[in-house]
């Protein structure tokens, strides 16, 4: 469940700032405590002294060392109890709590070489913010309105648009809720304003919440990144292109709205092939049908999209038009 370097960098910066804020607050509280109750300062000095004595006693051999160590422990315990009593009598609960921002990693973000839960949660938050910006929405599956879709049977499909879209919604919800690196690919096909982007964004947020890395890109933006990586290579452009291949889930929205050309066709085929070879799932949405995809790109690409993706057809009336009418 890897995150892009940029997401991790932003999350680590937030964690470092939170750690600094906590330590600054602890220092301020301690200074206030010393000013109000000078005995607490004396106790802290004595505690440091008894700790040093205990360390020295640990190196002594025989009963003398053991006796000194036990004496230091008793003095330390007595001082800690006095300090706790003074804190309880003079300050609100937790005022002198000097525990780190995270008990597991101490605020470093890692337990050994494993990312700590605190940093992982910040990564999830940063990725969600990124997805919300790119998809320009914050909708959830529960907000998907089936009442926008006609309930009358469409003879072309043998079912009503509402029935078809209810099935599509359930498939998308289940795909996101049970996502794994072997989840497979989804292809959303249908006209504009039928909910493809809405459900793509819902999948992105749900999969992100489950700890997987998700890249959400519009078609024009994605091919622009790949073009920059090829013709204007730099660390930044190569890193952006690598995210498209390495993320746990890639969501490509509005395939077919980019400027066509040989580079786009070659780049799309390469991207599809690379991710399929690595068993990295994709969700692709397009306004084009399979024949149009074949004519615009290549029969090979259309074959991949047709054979290696579960196709979900979006039907109904343009929801944006309905909303503009106040419906």
Q: pLDDT tens, 107-118?
A: 999 998 888 989
In a domain? residue 8: no
Residues 260, 315 within the same domain: yes
Per-residue pLDDT, 62: 58
In a domain? residue 23: yes
- Token pair 């006796």: residue: 67
∠ CA 68-74-78, nearest 5°, is: 145
In a domain? residue 11: no
Residue 215 near residue 249, CB atoms below 8 Å: yes
Residue 199 near residue 168, CB atoms below 8 Å: yes
Partners of 252 in the beta sheet? 217, 284
Distance CA 197, CA 115 (A): 32
Q: Note if the pTM is more than 0.95.
A: no
Per-residue pLDDT, 98: 85
Residue 317 near residue 195, CB atoms below 8 Å: no
Could you say which of 102, 123, 154 is where a domain stops? 102
Residues 237, 153 within the same domain: yes
Query: Mind listing the pLDDT tens digit for each residue in 267-291?
Result: 999 999 999 999 999 999 999 988 8
Q: What is the mean pLDDT of residues 84-95?
A: 92
Total domains in the chain come to: 2
Per-residue pLDDT, 263: 93
Residue 106 near residue 18, CB atoms below 8 Å: no
Domain harbouring 299, CATH code: 3.40.50.300
Distance CA 268, CA 257 (A): 13
Read off the tokens for 237.
């452009």
Residues 225, 319 within the same domain: yes
Could you say which of 79, 102, 125 is where a domain stops? 102
In a domain? residue 118: no
Q: What is the mean pLDDT of residues 46-73?
A: 74
Distance CA 105, CA 140 (A): 33
Read off the tokens for 122.
């910040």
Domain that holds residue 28: 17-102
CA atoms within 13 A on the CB side of 272: 24
Residues 56, 154 within the same domain: no
Could you say which of 102, 123, 147 is where a domain stops? 102
Per-residue pLDDT, 297: 92
Residues 6+ apart with CB under 8 A from 103: none
Distance CA 48, CA 39 (A): 14
- SS3 category, 176: helix
Q: What is the mean pLDDT of residues 233-254?
A: 87
In a domain? residue 147: yes
Query: Mind listing the pLDDT tens digit for each residue in 2-12?
Result: 566 778 888 99
Query: Closest Cα to residue 96, out of 106, 104, 105, 84?
Result: 84
Query: Closest Cα to residue 284, out of 250, 319, 322?
Result: 250
In a domain? residue 142: yes
């Amino acid at each position: 469940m890897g995150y892009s370097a940029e997401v991790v960098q932003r999350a680590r910066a937030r964690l470092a700032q939170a750690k600094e804020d906590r330590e600054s607050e602890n220092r301020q509280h301690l200074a206030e405590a010393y000013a109000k109750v000078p005995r607490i300062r004396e106790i802290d000095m004595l505690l440091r002294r008894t700790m040093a004595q205990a360390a020295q006693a640990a190196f002594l051999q025989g009963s003398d060392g053991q006796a000194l160590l036990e004496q230091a422990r008793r003095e330390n315990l007595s001082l800690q109890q006095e300090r706790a009593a003074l804190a309880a009598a003079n300050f609100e609960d937790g005022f002198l709590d000097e525990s780190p921002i995270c008990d597991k990693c101490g605020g470093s973000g890692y337990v050994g070489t494993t990312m700590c839960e605190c940093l992982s949660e910040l990564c999830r938050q940063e990725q969600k913010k990124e997805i919300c910006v790119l998809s320009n929405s914050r909708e959830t599956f529960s907000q998907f309105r089936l009442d926008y879709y006609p309930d009358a049977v469409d003879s072309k499909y043998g079912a009503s648009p509402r029935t078809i879209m209810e099935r599509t919604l359930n498939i998308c919800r289940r795909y996101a809720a049970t996502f794994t690196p072997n989840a497979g690919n989804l292809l959303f096909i249908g006209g504009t304003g039928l909910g493809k982007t809405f459900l793509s964004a819902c999948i992105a947020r749900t999969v992100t919440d489950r700890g997987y890395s998700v890249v959400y890109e519009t078609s024009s933006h994605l091919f622009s990144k790949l073009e920059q990586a090829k013709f204007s290579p730099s660390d930044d452009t190569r890193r952006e292109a690598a995210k498209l291949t390495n993320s746990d889930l890639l969501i490509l929205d509005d395939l077919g709205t980019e400027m066509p050309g040989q580079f786009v066709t070659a780049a799309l085929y390469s991207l599809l092939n690379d991710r399929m070879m690595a068993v990295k799932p994709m969700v692709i949405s397009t306004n084009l049908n399979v024949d149009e995809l074949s004519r615009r790109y290549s029969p090979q690409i259309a074959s991949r999209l047709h054979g290696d993706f579960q196709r979900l057809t979006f039907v109904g009336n343009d929801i944006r038009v309905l909303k503009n009418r106040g419906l």
